[in-house]
Amino acid sequence: MNETRAQPDRIIELRGVSKRFGSQVVLNRVDLAVQRGSVTVIIGRSGTGKSVLLKHIVGLLRPDEGEVHYEGRRVDQFSERDFKAVRREVSFVFQLNALFDSMSVAENVAFPMQELWSGRRSRREIAELADQALEMVGMEGSQSKRPADLSGGEKKRVALARAIALDPPPKVILYDEPTAGLDPQRADVINKLIRKLQHEYHVTSVVVTHDMKSAREVGDRVLMLHDARFLADGTPEEVLVSKVDQVRRFVQGLAEPEDLASLTEE
């Protein structure tokens, strides 16, 4: 803990985190330190444990080994009750959006604020903040729609609005594939939104993505997760010119030879 206090810029820190599901090792002694106010991008092939890593930060999964620290406190041993305090400072944008089907768009976006402020702020105030957040992601006018009436991209934008709709904005936002399913122009809006939250509100972001354009645009630092460990770590420019074969293939979108083997076999 003293070590972390000596480095207050590290808002999130994973130390030697390992996670297995049955016999499958998803994370193997992974270390990660996220600087306050930075945008950290984690890239990697599907199924390499990027989402699993994000979930450890807010205690949705607990490590088999290792430690998770938030704001200088070790949190991986927190009870669900104790974790609430962390979760109210850290927003999570889920890969599947996780919008509540039974609620309208406006109710979805207002939900975390109602839970957090529980009667301390008026409904009108919360509704206004929800409207502002929807406007930021280009979803104004869809307050009364149900998630089932939205396209995949629209759902993604509502999920983003729900994550940012707090006053002041959350300290940390964890994005799991924020631009997946969006057209390039909408994806660009989301990239700029992530940057805007960083510049204007000093929000720390951890972004898990496959989208190399997005990684390049938003990332202060890019890490690549491969075979349960980080294979690359550097600025977007450094990672883009990496000499490591797996990293080079991933950033250039080239298939691995073994993946192509089945196509070439006659």
Partner 1 sequence: MTDLLGNFGRFCLFSLSAVLYAPATLGHPRGWARLVPQAFAIGTKSVPVIMLTGAFVGMVLVEQGWSQFDAANLSDRLGAIVNISVAAELGPVLAGVMLAGRVGGALTAELGTMNVTEQLLALRAMGTDPVHYLVTPRFLACVLLTPILTCYADVMGALGAWLVFAAVHGGDSTAYWKYTQEVVQIWDVGTGLVKAAFFGAAIGLIACYKGFHCRGGAQGVGRACTESFVASFIAILILDYFLNVVVNQFYLQAYGPRSLI
Residue ranges in contact with partner 1 by CB under 8 A:
55, 58, 60, 80, 83-85, 87-88, 90-92, 94-96, 98-101, 111-112, 115-116, 118
Comparing CB distances to partner 1, the nearer of 147 and 236 is: 147
Sign of the C-alpha dihedral computed for residues 61, 63, 69 and 73 taken in this order: positive
CB of 26 to partner 1, least distance (A): 16
Nearer to partner 1, 86 or 197 (CB): 86
Q: How far is the CB of 12 from partner 1 (least distance, A)?
A: 15
- Residue 92 beta carbon to partner 1: minimum distance, rounded to whole angstroms: 4
CB nearer partner 1, residue 117 or residue 201: 117
Q: How far is the CB of 115 from partner 1 (least distance, A)?
A: 5
β-bridge mates for residue 65, sequence order: 18
- Name the minimum Å distance from CB 57 to partner 1: 10
d(CA 61, CA 59): 5
Residues 6+ apart with CB under 8 A from 126: 110, 113, 114, 117
Query: Considering beta carbons, is residue 133 or 251 the nearer one to partner 1?
Result: 133
For partner 1, give the closer residue by CB, 102 or 252.
Answer: 102
Looking at beta carbons only, is 26 or 224 nearer to partner 1? 26
Q: How far is the CB of 9 from partner 1 (least distance, A)?
A: 24
Task: To the nearest 10°, report the CA torsion of 31, 34, 40, 42.
Answer: 20
User: Residues 171, 160, 40, 20: is their CA dihedral positive or negative?
Assistant: positive
Token pair, residue 8, equals 């207050």
